[in-house]
Structure formats: structure tokens, C-alpha cells
Amino acid sequence: MEYNYRAIEKKWQKEWRDSGAYKVSNSSDKPKFYVLDMFPYPSGAGLHVGHPLGYIASDIYARFKRLKGYNVLHPMGFDSFGLPAEQYALETGQHPALTTEKNINRYKEQLDNIGFCYDWSREVRTSDPGYYKWTQWFFLQLFDSWYNRKNQKAERIKDLVDIFKAEGNTNSECPGDKKLRFTAEEWNGFDNQRQQEILMDYRLAFSAFGEVNWCEALGTVLANDEVVNGVSERGGHIVVKKKMRQWYLRITEYADRLLQGLEQVDFSDSMKEMQRNWIGKSMGAEISFRLTPGPSPHGEGIRDTSEEMSGHFFKSGNQKFWKTLKEYGRDNRKNATQSEDLLWQNLRNNQLDIKVRRQHAINGFIADFALMEIKLVIEIDGDYHNEQEQQEYDEARTKYLHEFGFDILRFTNTEVLEQTQSVVGTIKKEVQTRRQIKREAAASPLLRKEKGSGDEATLVVYTTRPDTIFGVDFMVIAPEHALVPKITSQEQKPAIDKYLDYVKSRSERERLAEVKSITGAFTGAYAINPFNGRQIPIWISEYVLAGYGTGAIMAVPCGDQRDFAFAKHFDIPITNIIGDAYNGEEANPTKDATLQNSDFLDGKVMRDAIDIAIDKLEEMGIGKRQVNYRMRDAGFSRQRYWGEPFPIVYKGGVAFALDESQLPVELPYVDTYSAGPEGEGPLANLADWIIAPGGGTRETNTMPGYAGSSWYFLRYMDPHNEAVFADRKATDYWSQVDLYIGGTEHAVGHLLYSRLWTKVLFDLGYIGFEEPYKKLVNQGMIGSFIKNIYRLNFNYKIGDGSGMVNVNQFIEEFGVHPEHYKADIPNIFISKEIAGRIDSNSINEKDKRLIDEAIEKAMKIKENIAGTLFFDKYKITGIPVETFLVEDDKLVIESFKVHSRLGNQNSIFVSSCNTFHCGSELGKMSKRYYNVVNPDDIVERFGADTFRMYEMFLGPVEQSKPWDTKGIEGVHRFLRKFWRLFADETKGLIVTNDAATPAELKVLHRTIKKIEEDTERFSFNTAVSAFMVCVNELNDLKCHKKEVLQSLLVLITPYSPHIAEELWKLLGNEGSVLDASFPKFEEKYLVESSKEYPISINGKHRTNINIALDAIQPVVEQIVLSNEVVQKWLDGKAPKKIIFVKGKMINVVI
RNA sequence: GCCCGGGUGGCGGAAUUGGUAGACGCAGCAGACUCAAAAUCUGCCGUUCGCAAGGAUGUGCUGGUUCGAUUCCAGUCCCGGGCACCA
């Protein structure tokens, strides 16, 4: 009875399919376990051996959990919307629906060959209308939600509208347009269109104008991947930025929760780190700097900061006036009005649990009362000015205080005098609300300022190092910064304009490419250091990005390398604030130096000074703690065909959601895939479809690839439900994915988006959990060697040789690319050794002679073929050669001539020895390297069980490693050996019912323990090796006992299910081994009475002695010392010390 | 540049808390069976000295802690992955 794996595997795969062995129920007494693979995009190339690595790992784990008594959900599906199918359609005219269907069928066939335990009845495809109906539905939920920062969760738009009706947006900042402020009255006065526009600035799915890569020549928008060095990857056409209306997901609102959620999930450190980097949270401060006057090109300039105005309205940028101001405040306090005094009596001494200052100077103003902590000013409108004048002052003052983040509460004299308690109550309430907001703001992206903004009088910078404020030698703002035209001085205008032209001429790619070049221009304007009044020049430079922070930085050259380089390049004097820690040669970004030349921070360690500095800035009202995120809102529309249509119609320019009952919006059939008239997606060409039945025009963008994959794990739970995306009972039962396996390439994209969707669904009450994936395991890539052959460069002239052939002409003439040209051109191939010498310019005479001879030979052959041939002497090109034509880096020349796309009978090989070597380097498995190994071939040769075990045996799942088909023999031999424990070729089944010996039981239970532990911690490679050890030992013991073997069979089922099932049946068992229960490990079989102790002398292992495990130290010492090896090493001396670690080892120190 | 991994035989890799480094497999060498091949089985297999017994040395490199370090600490080099004028 032979191990006929082909027959066995086919038989059981059919059996499992017919009996529905892997069908999973949503109701079970067993505990649930959800094992999920990242579903594949079904590409035309099919699977290669790298793909199933993760699938095998998850399959093993799923089967293991099933044996352990869990109800296991282990589904599979297809991420079937995507660009490649559309690209293919564009090239061949085949509809993506057809090619996708074809590819999926091939994938399923390949997957079934490997024997996975998927419940195919739960298969999902993102391109199915029954599936994307719900993707569209999710989009509508996002569209109909906003993020309530107070409650830190998504809420419905109608609740937001209620708030606006009642109080406007005074208590919540608008995330879309941070400057937008309106009252309830104003809101109610807006027309519907205006209201919808405002709501769009709050929606979690919103539309806005964004830049896309527009390629005029191709008439389409390109993904970032498709753009290389500013031109299209295909064809090399110019690509420009074009503004288009796009959909976005407001993921930035969830930045903090996405960050915090990482604490609750079991992802690898590097994975978490990648997500943290992506979110890019940094803590720092925003600091407002006053500007000194600089004559503007328009002659307006900035208002003179030393200007003094009448009344108690002051503006001052320098200390002299600050002082004057303070004196003025003191005077006012002495001459307070009656109402001021009355209110003061009610506010002083922390009566409202907050410190209130009276007649306090804030940035050039004297406020009647100032509550610095919450940035609130209380003013009592007196009656000693005429009304007109008073209003002007108030207006100006309000404006300026707003600029510094203060709000003003106004009361009249009469109010204060007559309704004192009501006034105090109002203040009290305001204090509470503002404190609450402040708390939230500290924990959310709320406080982010509008990018690139700034106002005329101040420059707001973001810094993580406010402690270095005395080391600021210049400011740098982004060239796109709104302040640039306003502050540029007359003299500097030409230089700035020139620089701006230069920046415009550079594509984003270029700006990013030349990281180290230093460019910039001086604006002629100065900012004022608020602490020492120093004038700081303001520069612009492309190294400061408009999109991050405030688009402006304070440059501290002694502490930041880029700032340092900039200062050196433009000869800006450098202030040293860290003494010896700065050597003048390079910046020192330390946080541990002690500050000098830093006024009130002198002597402080920088790390501690950060908080002190911010406190001071806050107290002065010119700075605040600020959290910044690198993450941007996620673009959610594509100008493509093969994706989910949006359930959106436009009426009068306003986007409206379709009603749920109108879903799905099915993707209409098209026969051309070219872009719409304005570069929209192909859907824009369908004049009929665009007109929506209920009026209005449809959105012609489609959703991106990650739309469908953001929630697919939920659909598996209840895949055929037509009423909801999944029944709440089903999502409550299956809940989080317990184990998610997939590649690192989705670390930030897919994982972040699906975490976002899950959080939104949770907030809206649709599901009961907030994180989709409890544990994530990343499988490594399986690489493959790329074998390179080196060809002597040549040119081939057609016909009479009147012109050299360029590639396009060649293709026209011969119908193939020259590289694939199989005709009789006598190509000359150079062996790796000589090629290496050519590359390193150390080519010797012999090499030259060999090559010259080859050329001569080629020329002779050439006489028989048309055209003219030229060789480029001693210049070579490495070309990937089909790996199956190379053995141990040696080219199989005869096969090459026949089977390679590069070879023909005239091929000439130049080598300095008998064999012809190719180059070899580790790389990706890819069609274009001709190194793809197809799992079907491996399964055909060795069987699915061997393939599964070998993939696991290669090394840890998480690790990347090269594929080597040779090694698979070992695993195959192991399975045959395993089979022979049960059956003999001639005698048939040889399993006996004899009782197992202690030695056999020991082997078995040691294996049970090892397999259980290793499987549980995803150490599948060591588990396979444990099986090998076990089989070797049972073989040595000649053990064929059912008692032992049957348990072993269950153990190995997850790894090699087919052979296990077959032998299970042969042993006469009823039912399937899939439903057996995992053998129970029993310690008692492993208990030993003695141990072969390793004996070390001075830490070096010398011998082993068998000693009883319960022996106590004195006895052990005696035994050890009497040992002859130990005696020899002691050489008559007495040991200094004997270290005895019970059950481990003994070390004698001499 | 920053962040995260990782460096162990000819190769893939093992050593779970500091305790016999190199499990298991591949490749290689020697042998058995065979007319032969395949298949199978046995032995050897880090380097080095030695006929052997046995010794020296050895986990990228340099130091340190320890009775004892692949494992812990400091520094350094190299490789892989991610991010990148991010203030």
C-alpha cells in the first residue's frame, strides 16, 4: 500500500466539498473563533508560491482551533474591484467583469488544490452588486455623520443641524473651515444651499477640491504609483496637477482614537510603529510672533507696532511700550469704575474657581478682566466715550484679541450694577464650557489652524521645541504661505518673485528628490522675539511645507541640522544657547543640554524647559500647547470605471444622498474605458446614466480599492443578508477577528481604513466592537532568485543597413520586442565571471580574445541572415533568464537554445571555463524576472500536504525568505516515512493494537506538548521539525501501535489534512478526522527520575554525568568531584565553588 | 536622516526565563542493497591541531556585567523593511 498522494488528495478534496465539511454555522454551543486572511485581488497572473504562505498558516491555525473545540469561521473572498482589470480592459477591450470572473475561478481552483478549509458558501466579492450595495450604504452612513469632538464620537448630521439651530457653531469649531463661525440666527437665515455647504465641512465623507495627477496625453488621471519623475509610467507623458472635486473621508478626526486603539490590539511592534508614524502625532506649541513693519509692495505695510492710540487701546511690539502699558493698567485699577469694582468683588480670590486678573495687559491691550487660563476677556462698556468712538475701539480690540485666541464677553455698566448675579452666572457658565472645550482640544486635532494662513500682524509657527526660543535666528515660511505677498518688502520683492518662479517650475517630485539642496529667499520682513524683542528675519524656502503645522517654522540653527545648513548657506549668524553642547560644526538636536543665553530659561535642562516656556507663552497669550498630526484626510474617489459608484446625485451643485431603497447603484455597462470630457471617470461618458431617475445628475467618480476591503470581514459573518450588511446577532456572535493574517504592504492603507470604518460603525451603534482585528500576524514575502544572463550589446540593422534600428522600428518590422527576438541573430552571451570583470573594468587579455573570437564567429553566422549586425565590444546588459533553465547557477545551454525567449541555435556562449555561469540575486517573484514558481506545479509533483508543510518548514511565517524547490524533497520524504509507520508497500496496513510502551508514550506526549505550543505561537517551522523528530524516533522504536499513531494523526491534521484523513479512515474510524478532538497532553509520561547533567569546568562544558533529579547539592557535589574527567581538570586543586542549578547544569569553578 | 526588524555552518533555519550552540531539513562525503538506476537504509558533516583519545576556537565587530552570554548592557559595522525637507 503506497502513499499515493495524488489520488488521496483529489479524493478527499471532493469528499469535503460534497459533504460540506467546512460549512460553518452562526449558532453553536462551542466558543467562536474567527480566522481571517487578507483576501486577494484576483490578478491575471494567478497565484505563485509566495501567496499561499499566509493562507496555509491561517488554515493550520483554523483547523487547530477546530480540533480544540471551537466553532471556527475561516472564509475567503475576493477584492475584485481594481485598476489592473480596468487597465487590461483598456488594452484588450475585454470587460473587467469578465476577466475578473475568469481570474477568480482560476484562483479558487488553485486554492482548492492546496486543500484549504474555506467555507465557500460565505465567499464575498467586492464587485458583486449584492456586496457593494452595502459598501454604498456605509458610504451614506459616513456622509450622514459628523465627528462630535465633545463626545469624541461620530453622530448623525441631523443632531448637528439641531445644534446649529439652537446655538450656531459657537461651541464647536468647523473641521472643514476652521474660521467659519455663525450664530443660531445666522444659521437659520442661511438658504438651503449655504446650509448644505456648511454641513459638508462637517461630514465624515465629504467632497472638496483636491489635486490629482492629470495626464493630458493619456486623457486620464493617474495614481501616484503610475507617475514616475513627473511623467506617466506608461509612455512617459507629462503629468500635471489638476484641481478636481473629490470625495474624502475625514479620518483626521479619528487620529487620536486610531492611535489609542493600537494599545488594545495585538499587532507587531513594527506594524504599530508604522501606523503611529503615519498618523504622526507630535506635541509642541504654536507661537505667535509679532512682525515689525516692512513696507509692502502695495504701500500698505503692517501697522506700526509702536503706534499708541487713545483711551486704553494700545498696541505694542516692544518692551518700552509693554512697560507703559503696565503702568497704565495700574492707574486704571486705582481709578476703577463702580461697576468694575462690583464685579471684581465677585470674581476675585478664585471665587469662580479660576484666577481672574484685573486691568491686565494682553498683547498691547488693557483688558478690564482677564481669565488667562481659558483665554477669556471680560469688558465692561463704560459711558465715558461717545458711542461712535467706543464702537470703533471695541471692534478693533475684539479683532486683535481674537487674533491671539481670546474671546470677549461684554457687559454694560447697567447690567453689572443691576443684575450682578446673572452676570456672574453667565461668566461661571462660560468658564465651565471653555474648560471642557480646552480639555477636548488638548486630546484632539481640533486646534489645528488653517494651513498656510496667518494674519497680517502675526506669524504663527509650530514647534516641538519651544525651549529653544532664545536660539531662534530666523524664521522660514513655506513659499505658498498666505503671508508671503503681504510681508515682502519693496527691496526684496524681485528676489522673492524670482524664488517663487523657481518653486513653481519644480514639480513635487523634484522638490522631494533633491533633499539636500538649500534654497530660499529673504522677505525683508522681521518677526519679533516676544521675550527679548530681537528682530528675526523671515525667509521663505521650499523645505518648509505649507501643509504641515502652520506652514512656518522658527529656525534654531544650533539645534536643528537643516536650520544649521540653511544658516551657513545664507550666512545668518548663529546664536548658541547650549554652550559646549554646540561645537559650531554641526547642530545638536539634544534635549538634555542646559540652556544658556535664555533669560528666564537659563540653567534649565531643555527637556524641562519645554513646559516652562509654553506656560509662559500661554500666560502672555501668545502661544499655546498644540498637537499636530501628519496624517491627511483620505481621498475617497477615483476617476475610474471598475469600482463602486457613489450613491450621490447633484442638484443645483449640492450633493444629495440617494435613499437607502435606491441601493445598490449598479455599475452600468460600458464598452470604452477612456476618461470623461473633463478627465472624470469613464462613467461621465454615459449621458443617459448620468441623469438620475429622481432628478439631478449622478456622481461619476467611483470609490477606491479600499472601500470594499474596509468592511469585508463583517460580510462573511452573514454574507447573504439582503436586509442589512450583517445581522446584529451575527456580528455580536463572531465579533472581532481573532486572528488576521496578511502582508505588511497593507500596514497603513487598508488596516487604518478598516479600523476607521469599524470605529464609525461602532459610534453609530451598528456593531458592538471598536477594533476589527484582535491579533495580526504578518507573513513575510517569499522571494526567489533572479538568474541573470549577460548579453553583449548589439545593434541590428535591417535591410541594407541605411539606418540603425530603434526599438519601435524593430517591433514594427518583426512584430516583437528585440529582447524577445527569436530569429537567428547570433547573440553573444558572456559568463558571470567575465561579465564581472567587464563591470569592474578589470577585463583581461584572455577575456578580450574570447569575446573577439565570438564576434568573429557571429559575423560568419550572420552572413546567412538578413540585415547588418554590429556588436558593442565589451559592453554587456544583464537580462533575467528563465530560472528553470539554470541549475546551481549553471546555464543548461541546450535547453536554453530551445526554450528560452532569448536563445536560438546560433547563440554563442563565452566562458573561461567548461561551464557557463549566470548571475544570481534575490528578488521578488515576478513575471518580469521569469522566476515565478507556480504552486500547481509543486502540488502536482509532491502533493498538497508536502507543499503545505514545506512552506511552513521554510522558516518563521513572519520572516521573508527565498523559495528553493530543492529543499522540498526532505519534507516529502518525511510524509512517506510517516505513511510507512501505518502501512507497508507489500503488507498493507501494519498498525497493531498492542499497548504502547512508556518510551513510545513519552515520544508521543513530548510531541503533543511541542505541537500545541508551537502552533499556538505560530511557530509552524519548529512544529514541522517536531513531527520529523517524532517520526524518526517512532521509526527507531519500530512503533506501529494504534494508541500512539492515532493521536499523532490528529496532531498532524492541521498541517497535512489529506494524508491524515486517509489514514484516519484506514484505521477504521467513523467520521472525519476534522472533527476529532486534539489529544490531551499528560505530564506524567514525561516525568524523569534522573538527568544527564552537563558538567562545566570554569564555564566550559567538559562532560556529562547522570544524576538523580531529586539529589541535593552535597550529594551532587560529591558525585561530580569523584568523576574522573572532573578530577583530571581539578589537577589536585580544590574547587573554589560548585554551581548547581537543579535540572539544568553544574559548573565547577577552579 | 529618523523609526522598526535582523546578522548563528556551504544553504533554509533551531536554541520559549542567561545554563550542553548548530535541533530539523537541504546540499555534500562515505557505505549497504541493486546487473544498473530509482527508491530505501546506515555513518560522517562549523573551523582548526591530532592517527586517536583529546584540545583550541567559534553566533557581524569591540568592550562590559556574570561562575556561565547567541541571549543582558554600551559602542560600532553591515543587511532588510517603513517613513522622509514633518519643524
Q: What is the SS3 string spanning A295-306? A: CCCCCCCCCCCC
pLDDT, mean over chain A = 84
State how far the Cα of A796 lies from the Cα of A859, in Å rounded to an integer. Answer: 12
pLDDT bucket at A1123, cuts 50 / 70 / 90: confident
pLDDT bucket at A717, cuts 50 / 70 / 90: very high
Cell numbers for A878 = 544583464
State how far the Cα of A139 lies from the Cα of A647, in Å rounded to an integer. Answer: 8
Nucleotide nearest to A284 (CA to C1'): B87
pLDDT bucket at A732, cuts 50 / 70 / 90: very high
Asked whether residue A661 carries a pLDDT value surpassing 50, the answer given is: yes
Amino acid at A132: Y
What is the model's pTM?
0.81
Cell numbers for A211 = 489635486
Reduced to 3 states, what is the DSSP secondary structure of residue A1038? coil
State how far the Cα of A657 lies from the Cα of A233, in Å rounded to an integer. Answer: 36
pLDDT at A869: 72
Contact A419, A303 (CB under 8 A): no
CA angle A897, A903, A904 (to 5 degrees): 65
pLDDT bucket at A310, cuts 50 / 70 / 90: very low
Amino acid at A776: L
Q: Mean pLDDT lowest for which of A360-364, A634-638, A710-714, A1061-1065?
A: A360-364
pLDDT at A666: 94
State how far the Cα of A979 lies from the Cα of A1056, in Å rounded to an integer. Answer: 12
pLDDT at A114: 95
Q: Mean pLDDT lowest for which of A401-415, A625-639, A702-716, A738-752?
A: A401-415
Nucleotide nearest to A961 (CA to C1'): B12
Contact A722, A130 (CB under 8 A): yes
Contact A158, A734 (CB under 8 A): no
HSE-CB at A200 with a 13 A cutoff on CA atoms is 19
The alpha helices in A1020-1140, defined as continuous H runs, are 1020-1036, 1042-1052, 1057-1066, 1113-1122, 1124-1130
A1022 CA vs B78 C1’ separation (Å): 28
State how far the Cα of A1127 lies from the Cα of A1132, in Å rounded to an integer. Answer: 7
Q: Is the backbone peptide bond immediately before A664 cis, with ω within 30 degrees of 0?
A: yes
**Amino acid whose CA is nearest the C1' of B25:** A970
State what percent of residues in chain A have pLDDT above 90: 38
Q: Which of A824, A977, A972, A793 is nearest to A907 (CA)?
A: A824
| Strand B proximal to A952 Cβ, under 7 A | no
Q: H or E segment at A1100? A: strand A1100-1108
Asked whether residue A961 carries a pLDDT value surpassing 50, the answer given is: yes
Residue linked to cell 546555464: A891
DSSP-assigned beta bridge partners for residue A1137: A1149
pLDDT bucket at A372, cuts 50 / 70 / 90: confident
A782 versus A362: which is more confidently predicted?
A782
Check the CA dihedral A1090-A1092-A1094-A1097 and report its sign. Answer: positive
pLDDT at A847: 86
Q: How many CB atoms lie within 10 A of CB A333?
A: 15
Quick one: average pLDDT of A932-950?
93
Quick one: average pLDDT of A584-612?
86
Which chain A residues in 273-302 sit with Cβ < 7 A of strand B? 273-274, 277-278, 280, 282, 284
Contact A118, A75 (CB under 8 A): yes
pLDDT at A301: 35
Residues counted in chain A:
1150
Contact A771, A264 (CB under 8 A): yes
| Strand B proximal to A1028 Cβ, under 7 A | yes
DSSP-assigned beta bridge partners for residue A117: none
Residue linked to cell 513653481: A504
Cα dist. A421→A407, A417, A425, A771 in Å? 21, 10, 6, 49
End-to-end CA distance of chain A: 61
A937 CA vs B39 C1’ separation (Å): 22
Quick one: average pLDDT of A1091-1105?
85
Query: Cβ contacts of residue A800 below 8 Å, gap of 6+?
Result: A868
A160 versus A920: which is more confidently predicted?
A160
| Strand B proximal to A962 Cβ, under 7 A | yes
Which chain A residues in 726-755 sit with Cβ < 7 A of strand B? 744-745, 747-748
Residue linked to cell 555561469: A917
| Strand B proximal to A445 Cβ, under 7 A | no
pLDDT at A24: 94
Quick one: average pLDDT of A1101-1117?
85
Quick one: average pLDDT of A1055-1067?
95
Q: Mean pLDDT lowest for which of A134-148, A495-509, A583-597?
A: A495-509
- Which of A294-303, A581-590, A592-601: highest mean pLDDT? A592-601
| Strand B proximal to A928 Cβ, under 7 A | no
Nucleotides of B under 7 A from a protein CB: 3-5, 11-16, 19-21, 23-27, 39-42, 55-56, 67-69, 80-87
| Strand B proximal to A545 Cβ, under 7 A | yes
Torsion of CA A429, A431, A437, A441, to 10 degrees: 180
Quick one: average pLDDT of A1032-1042?
92
Q: Mean pLDDT lowest for which of A252-256, A385-389, A942-946, A1079-1083?
A: A385-389
Cα dist. A373→A285, A405, A621, A667 in Å? 16, 12, 9, 55
State what percent of residues in chain A have pLDDT above 70: 87
pLDDT at A797: 63
A402 versus A767: which is more confidently predicted?
A767
Cell numbers for A174 = 468647523
Quick one: average pLDDT of A496-509?
75
| Strand B proximal to A571 Cβ, under 7 A | no
pLDDT at A403: 61
Q: A32-37 and A739-743 as β-strands: parallel, antiparallel, unpaired?
A: parallel
Q: H or E segment at A161? A: helix A157-167
pLDDT at A873: 78
| Strand B proximal to A454 Cβ, under 7 A | no
pLDDT at A1127: 84
pLDDT at A99: 94
Cell numbers for A1011 = 505541537
Phi, psi of A934 (to 5 degrees): -90, 130
Nucleotide nearest to A1032 (CA to C1'): B24
pLDDT at A319: 45
Torsion of CA A801, A807, A808, A812, to 10 degrees: 60
A1086 versus A405: which is more confidently predicted?
A1086
Can you state the percent helix, strand and coil of chain A, rounding each to 5? 40, 20, 40
Q: Decide: residue A1054, CB within 10 A, 0-12 exposed, 13-18 middle, 19+ buried.
A: buried
| Strand B proximal to A1136 Cβ, under 7 A | no
Amino acid at A461: V
pLDDT at A726: 95
Quick one: average pLDDT of A28-40?
94
Q: Which of A65, A136, A271 is nearest to A737 (CA)?
A: A65
Asked whether residue A283 carries a pLDDT value surpassing 50, the answer given is: yes
**Amino acid whose CA is nearest the C1' of B54:** A1102
Q: Mean pLDDT lowest for which of A544-548, A574-578, A1045-1049?
A: A544-548
DSSP-assigned beta bridge partners for residue A634: A249
A756 CA vs B5 C1’ separation (Å): 27
Q: Mean pLDDT lowest for which of A74-83, A109-118, A173-182, A385-394?
A: A385-394
HSE-CB at A94 with a 13 A cutoff on CA atoms is 14
State how far the Cα of A501 lies from the Cα of A161, in Å rounded to an integer. Answer: 45
A650 CA vs B35 C1’ separation (Å): 88
Contact A469, A287 (CB under 8 A): yes
pLDDT bucket at A333, cuts 50 / 70 / 90: low
Quick one: average pLDDT of A449-465?
63
Reduced to 3 states, what is the DSSP secondary structure of residue A666? coil
A607 CA vs B63 C1’ separation (Å): 31
Which chain A residues in 457-476 sit with Cβ < 7 A of strand B? 462-465
State how far the Cα of A746 lies from the Cα of A778, in Å rounded to an integer. Answer: 10
Nucleotide nearest to A1144 (CA to C1'): B19
Contact A219, A196 (CB under 8 A): no
Task: Spell out the long-range contacts of A1086-1094 with Cβ–Cβ below 8 A and sequence spacing 24 or more.
Answer: A1086/A1002, A1086/A1005, A1086/A1006, A1086/A1009, A1091/A1143, A1093/A1145, A1093/A1146, A1094/A1145, A1094/A1146
Phi-psi region of A454 (alpha: psi -120 to 50; beta: other; left: phi over 0): left
Q: A828-830 and A908-910 as β-strands: parallel, antiparallel, unpaired?
A: parallel
Q: Mean pLDDT lowest for which of A38-42, A805-809, A1023-1027, A1084-1088?
A: A805-809
pLDDT bucket at A863, cuts 50 / 70 / 90: low
Cell numbers for A428 = 461661571
Residue linked to cell 541572415: A865
A1024 CA vs B57 C1’ separation (Å): 33
Q: Which of A63, A79, A70, A78 is nearest to A21 (CA)?
A: A63
Check the CA dihedral A343-A347-A352-A356 and report its sign. Answer: positive
pLDDT at A1082: 92
pLDDT at A389: 66
Phi, psi of A1037 (to 5 degrees): -80, -5
pLDDT at A96: 94
pLDDT at A309: 30
Amino acid at A422: S
Quick one: average pLDDT of A847-865?
81
Q: Which of A193, A246, A195, A237 is nearest to A217 (CA)?
A: A237
Asked whether residue A840 carries a pLDDT value surpassing 80, the answer given is: no
DSSP-assigned beta bridge partners for residue A365: A313, A362
Q: Which of A1081, A270, A343, A389 is nearest to A748 (CA)?
A: A270
Nucleotide nearest to A506 (CA to C1'): B85
State ipTM: 0.95
